[in-house]
Amino acid sequence: MSAPFLLERQDAVAIISINDAPYNRMTLDFIDQLEALVAEIDTDDGIRAVVLTGEGLENFSVGMNLKQLPEGIQRKGGPEALFDQRLRVIAAIENMGKPWVVTLFGYCLGGGLELPLGCHFRLAADEGARIGLPEMDLGSVPAWGGSARLSKCVGRNHALDMILRGRKISGPEALHIGLVHEVWPLAELKDRAVSLAHELAAQPALAVRGMLEVIVGSEDRTLDELLQAERAAVMRTMGTPDQQEGMMAFLEKRPPIFNKQ
pLDDT at 214: 95
What is the per-residue pLDDT across 92-103, written as a single tens digit (0 to 9) for each?
Answer: 999 999 999 999
41 pLDDT band, cuts 50/70/90, is very high
DSSP-assigned states of every residue in 136-175: GGGT----SSHHHHHHHHH-HHHHHHHHHTT--B-HHHHH
81 pLDDT band, cuts 50/70/90, is very high
What is the per-residue pLDDT across 195-244, written as a single tens digit (0 to 9) for each?
Answer: 999 999 999 999 999 999 999 989 889 999 999 999 999 999 999 999 99
The answer to whether 228 touches 213, Cβ cutoff 8 Å, is no
How far is residue 83's CA from residue 38's CA, in Å, rounded to a whole number? 17
pLDDT at 13: 98
- Cβ atoms < 10 Å from Cβ of 84: 12
How far is residue 127's CA from residue 21's CA, in Å, rounded to a whole number? 19
The answer to whether 46 touches 11, Cβ cutoff 8 Å, is no
pLDDT at 261 over 90: no
How far is residue 83's CA from residue 8's CA, in Å, rounded to a whole number? 28
How far is residue 31's CA from residue 7's CA, in Å, rounded to a whole number? 14
Pick the CATH number of 5-201 from 1.10.1040.10, 3.40.640.10, 3.30.450.20, 3.90.226.10: 3.90.226.10
pTM (2 d.p.): 0.95
66 pLDDT band, cuts 50/70/90, is confident
> Mean pLDDT, to the nearest integer, of 8-17?
98
Active-site annotation, residues: 114, 135
pLDDT at 255: 93
How far is residue 20's CA from residue 3's CA, in Å, rounded to a whole number? 9
The answer to whether 175 touches 183, Cβ cutoff 8 Å, is yes
3-state secondary structure (DSSP) of residue 114: helix
